[in-house]
Amino acid sequence: MTKYSRREFLKLSAAAASAAALAELVPLYKKKPKKILRLEQLRKTSSNITVKKTMCYICGQKCPLKVYVDGYRIVKIVHNTIPGYDDYFATCGRPQTLFEMRFVPERIRKPLIRVGKRGEGKFREITWEEALALLVKKLKEYRPDEIIVFAHKGTEAGLFKEFMKSIVGTPNVTEHCDTCHTGLDISSWFVFGKLMGPGAFRPDYEHAKLVVFMGRNPVEGIVATPWTKSFSVGKEDGLEIIVFDVRETRLTSLAHRYYIIPPGTDLAIGLAIIHVILRDKLYNSEYLVKYTNAPMLIYTDTIEPVGLRDHPSWKGKKDYLVYDEGTGKITWKTTATEPALMWEGEYNGRPVKTVLSLLWDQVKQYTPQWAEGITGVPASEIEYVAKRLANQAPRAFIDTGYKAARYYNEAMFFRVKHIINALIGAIGAKGGIAWPYKPKIPSPFKILGIKGHGPQGEPLYKYWLDQGVVKLVQPKCFSHLALKSLLEGKPKKYKMVIIFNENVVAHSQGSSKAIEALKNAEFVVVIDVAHNETTPWADLVLPITMPFEQDSITLYTPSKVDIGEIGILEKVIDPPPGIDAKPGWWIIAEIGKRIDPANASKYEALEDPRSIWIKQAQLLGINPKELLDKGIVILRSKPIYHPLKGKYLPSVTGEIELISVKALQEFKDYIGKSSLMNPLPVWIPPRWMMTKQKLSANEFIAVDTMDQMTAANMWIRFSRLVVSSLNWRKFDGVLIHKDRARKLGIKDGDLVRIQGPGGEIIAKARLTSTVHPLVILGAHATNPGRRIKLTIESINGGTYEVKLFSWGGGYGTNTNMLASFDTVSLEEGGRANQCDVVVSVEKLKT
């Protein structure tokens, strides 16, 4: 029968098949001959395919890609591999959306100037010449220290920040990480002596035997695809997975065990795990002695190191007194033969004990039974997890992952995770938390010899540090403090705000206050690809190209670079017709020429990125031809497997510090307090637990999550593919536990009003039994708060409207819209507590 139909089939389509070679490629669609012709033409044009080597900048990770382009068609998008090293790279589904995403109707088409009131959304298109003239005029009008710059890492934001800092001279250049990983940075300060973000670590999944995930999901978040790749390689090799989360996810379905816990309570589990490890002496003694300050002697009365001296061989590091079990004497660690880990005694007539003993004293109270009371996870299970971690170590670790701005106690929680990883000897181990190798790429300004006077004046966070409001700050990330300064006019009145590829309103906890802060500025500039929650509040809006529509100004390393990857970000395709967007570097060059005419020729050179790539490559010792041919090269063959990152760490002792020496010096007063600044690990409840003893029937904790298709506040969330993907998975709203929803009379698909202390959103309820009953949960930034519509006068006459979420969607969540402005950890520089907000939920009456 097959034969018969096949023959008929061929006969029928003989007209269509132009060549014998195409015999198998007979169109199965030829209703009208005209269309066959078009199909044939379509096939012929496919010989003009060019292959672009680029990197995906949608979520900022810069994963290497090859994009096959044929005129205006994206033929295909594939991961750009380096044979033999593919475990270190991958690309996810986001760049695949390129062919559709670049047409999102929210794109900014031309430079815009505000014509209505702030927030009214009325703009007029102007020429680039007018726009640049206005921008330069304003830059000259205000003093550099009256300007605040918010710039995300995206595309040329790095150069833009450098330009604003060193050429224009504003000291107030910040990005959004205080709403993202600042909690992790601060936890690292306590353990490694330096603020270190997610890119500073490499979870070595592919060699690990067990990974415990708490507050981290490498599968569904995928804001670090290289790690996801490593995860999947590990999974294939039988990686054991234990998960703690507030909902069931794809990760929990892969997990060997998982526990659904109340939000923000994982710290209790972490403390109990330390308890079990210390109680049963499951730690790696050799490791602790060699690489950590566990044997360091501390005066028990004052909680101070007993003795510090300059390290004999490590420059700038300190050696300390330990109890040498070999000799029975207290001596310097560098001279001791057998430093004791758990020891109590006397020195100079004062009681002393080791750091590890002190730690044990501290966590003695945090029994698994205690943690069970908070989290509901049976004590026996917590014991199991702790023992399993110790058992599989050093090829086991708790993922110290990514975002750490969800709950108030997050920095402490991440510190506890670091301590556990140190106790079992996983830090720096193969199959543990390894260290990446990150090459430094010389800046284009350096290459072109463009120099400025540097920042003029103090950055605004200094003021808040001096006031004692802030104890620790990530100097790159103080967006909350910047808004606070704008709001309060302290330390001075800030007059101009430039927002480059950031979405300040949507990303700031307490969005309504962020809007007020922007209103306090005299002139607000937004430079972005697409309209967002912030653009209505701008005075001047400049369109930049999507990353795929320009050659980047510099070579890049992927954000989660592990083996020194260097790549190019090549232009793939022109912006769609009608989009008069310019690359970020073009804008910088044009401003540069205008404010610094003496160096105009150097800025001119900025408009030739490829020559900059070549010089950068030469300086890095890479063959530029190889780089351009391959699109990506590597400088190392594996990450750094050494507990102290090859040499020694930035901490006072150069070691992993279970209790930070610097913290003991700076934050001693906090000992005994349930505070984030406590040098000792301590239980701190999440904010919601502190404010509410018991939630009433309509109260929930608003939680947002990353999603495999969305990427923070970027334009990709407007894409039809993304909107459809969320709808397909019933994740186009907020997940509510069905038992609780039923009590509130909410049915699946109903619209609900979520009222938080800082504002309200309207969201679509999605009923499920897969979330913890306490939470109401959705994908991050899938709700614009108020429905935003912009009316724009075209330069060619007439007006057009732009609506956010014009392809649908927009009924998910954004907890920033719900939280009040003060829901942050100010002591950590205004680090957000984005998922630590109690909200009330009611069904929207139709």
Partner 1 sequence: MSIRAFIAFIVLLVVSLALLGYGIKLGLPAKESLDISAMPWGILVPGYVFFASIAVGASIIDSIFTIYGYKGSSNTLREDIKYSTYFSLISLVPAWTLILLDLINPEHGIWLIRGFHDVSRIAWNLVLYTLLAITLLVELVYLIRRTDIDTIKNIKKAELAIAIAVLVSAIALDSNLSQAFGSLVSVPAWYGSHLVAFFLASAVLLGAAGQWLFITIVRGFKGTLRERKDYYSSLAGKMYLTILPIFWLFMFWDIVAAWYHKPTWNYYKELLWGAHAPIFWGIEVVIGLIVPVIASIVALEKRSITAAIVASIALLIAGFTSKYDLLILGQLARLHSEGFMTLIGSGFLAAHNVMHYHPATSEVLILAGAFIEWPMLLLAGILALPLGADEKPRHLYIFK
Partner 2 sequence: MARMAMVIDLNKCVGCYACTIACIRENIARQKKNGVEMPDHIFQYARTRPIDFPLEGSVRVLGFPSNTPFFIQCQQCENPPCVAACPTGASFKTKDGVVLVDRNKCIGCRACMIACPYGVRTMYLGRLSSPPPNPYGLVPRYPDKCTFCYHRKNSPEGWVPACVEACAFGARIFGDLDDPNSEVSRIIRNGNAVRLREDLGTKPKFFYILPNK
Task: Tell me which of partner 2, partner 1, none is bound by residue 732, counting a contact when its beta carbon lies within the kind-specific cut-off of 5 to 8 angstroms.
Answer: partner 1
Q: Of 74, 371, 706, 765, which lies in the binding site for partner 2, with binding defined by CB under 8 A?
A: 74
Closest CA to 821 of 403, 515, 493, 537: 515
619-650: burial string, b at 16+ Cβ within 10 Å, e else? ebebebeebeebbbbbbbebbbbebbbeebbb
Residue 337 makes contact with partner 2 by CB under 8 A: no
Closer residue to partner 2, CB minimum distance, 254 or 619 = 254
How would you class 743 by CB atoms within 10 Å of its CB: exposed for 0-12, middle for 13-18, buried for 19 or more?
exposed
Q: How far apart are the first and last CA of the chain?
A: 58
CB-based contact 624:617 (threshold 8 Å) = yes
Task: Tell me which of partner 1, partner 2, none is bound by residue 236, counting a contact when its beta carbon lies within the kind-specific cut-off of 5 to 8 angstroms.
Answer: partner 2
**Can you say how many angstroms the Cα of residue 490 is from the centroid of all Cα atoms in its chain?**
29
Residue 33 makes contact with partner 2 by CB under 8 A: no
Residue 35 makes contact with partner 2 by CB under 8 A: yes
Residues 697-726 that bind partner 1 (CB under 8 A): 726
Contacts of 531 (CB under 8 A, 6+ apart): 106, 107, 108, 541, 788, 790, 802, 804
How many residues form the binding site for partner 1 (CB under 8 A)?
12
Nearest approach in angstroms of CB 229 to partner 1 is: 27
Residue 800 makes contact with partner 2 by CB under 8 A: no
Residues 94-123 that bind partner 1 (CB under 8 A): none
The rounded distance, in Å, linking the Cα atoms of 466 and 485 is: 14
How many residues form the binding site for partner 2 (CB under 8 A)?
79
**Can you say how many angstroms the Cα of residue 177 is from the centroid of all Cα atoms in its chain?**
7
Residue 413 makes contact with partner 2 by CB under 8 A: no
Closer residue to partner 2, CB minimum distance, 95 or 452 = 95
Task: Write the interaction track for partner 1 spanning residues 6-45; mark x where CB under 8 A is met and - where it is not.
Answer: --x-------------------------------------
The rounded distance, in Å, linking the Cα atoms of 93 and 818 is: 30
Residue 56 makes contact with partner 2 by CB under 8 A: no
Residue 73 makes contact with partner 2 by CB under 8 A: yes
607 CB-side CA count, 13 A = 12
Residues 126-145 that bind partner 1 (CB under 8 A): none
Residue 89 makes contact with partner 2 by CB under 8 A: yes
Residues 743-802 that bind partner 1 (CB under 8 A): 748-749
Closer residue to partner 1, CB minimum distance, 459 or 809 = 809
Task: Tell me which of partner 2, partner 1, none is bound by residue 578, counting a contact when its beta carbon lies within the kind-specific cut-off of 5 to 8 angstroms.
Answer: partner 2
Helices (H) and strands (E) in the chain, counts: 28, 35
For residue 129, the SS3 value is helix
Residue 727 makes contact with partner 1 by CB under 8 A: yes
Residue 13 makes contact with partner 2 by CB under 8 A: yes
Closer residue to partner 1, CB minimum distance, 8 or 604 = 8
Residue 12 makes contact with partner 2 by CB under 8 A: yes
Residue 633, token pair as written in the block? 């090269």
Task: Tell me which of partner 2, partner 1, none is bound by residue 254, counting a contact when its beta carbon lies within the kind-specific cut-off of 5 to 8 angstroms.
Answer: partner 2
Residue 706 makes contact with partner 2 by CB under 8 A: no
Nearest approach in angstroms of CB 747 to partner 1 is: 11
CB-based contact 283:344 (threshold 8 Å) = no
Task: Tell me which of partner 1, partner 2, none is bound by residue 77, counting a contact when its beta carbon lies within the kind-specific cut-off of 5 to 8 angstroms.
Answer: partner 2
The rounded distance, in Å, linking the Cα atoms of 698 and 372 is: 25
Which residue has 């224009």 as its token pair?
A: 168
Residues 201-260 that bind partner 2 (CB under 8 A): 218-220, 222, 225, 228-229, 231-233, 235-236, 238-239, 248, 250, 252-254, 256
Task: Tell me which of partner 2, partner 1, none is bound by residue 749, counting a contact when its beta carbon lies within the kind-specific cut-off of 5 to 8 angstroms.
Answer: partner 1
How would you class 576 by CB atoms within 10 Å of its CB: exposed for 0-12, middle for 13-18, buried for 19 or more?
middle
Residue 51 makes contact with partner 2 by CB under 8 A: no
Q: Of 730, 753, 786, 803, which lies in the binding site for partner 1, with binding defined by CB under 8 A?
A: 730
Residue 803 makes contact with partner 2 by CB under 8 A: no
Contacts of 799 (CB under 8 A, 6+ apart): 791, 792, 793
> Phi then psi for 322, rounded to 5 degrees?
-135, 170
Largest distance between two CA atoms of the chain: 103
Stretch that binds partner 1, among 675-683, 706-714, 729-737, 751-759 (CB under 8 A): 729-737
Residue 569, token pair as written in the block? 């970000």
For residue 244, the SS3 value is strand
Q: Of 38, 625, 729, 743, which lies in the binding site for partner 1, with binding defined by CB under 8 A?
A: 729
Residue 430 makes contact with partner 2 by CB under 8 A: no
Residue 580 makes contact with partner 2 by CB under 8 A: no
CB atoms within 10 A of CB 368: 25
* Pairing of the two strands 172-174 and 147-151: parallel
> Phi then psi for 53, rounded to 5 degrees?
-100, 125
Closer residue to partner 2, CB minimum distance, 95 or 144 = 95
Task: Write the interaction track for partner 2 spanning residues 708-747; mark x where CB under 8 A is met and - where it is not.
Answer: xx----------xx--xx-xxx--------x---------
Which residue has 């672009």 as its token pair?
A: 52
Residue 773 makes contact with partner 2 by CB under 8 A: no
Residue 305, token pair as written in the block? 């190191």
The rounded distance, in Å, linking the Cα atoms of 32 and 14 is: 14
**Can you say how many angstroms the Cα of residue 351 is from the centroid of all Cα atoms in its chain?**
44
The rounded distance, in Å, linking the Cα atoms of 255 and 241 is: 5
Interface residues toward partner 1, by CB under 8 A: 1, 5, 8, 726-732, 748-749
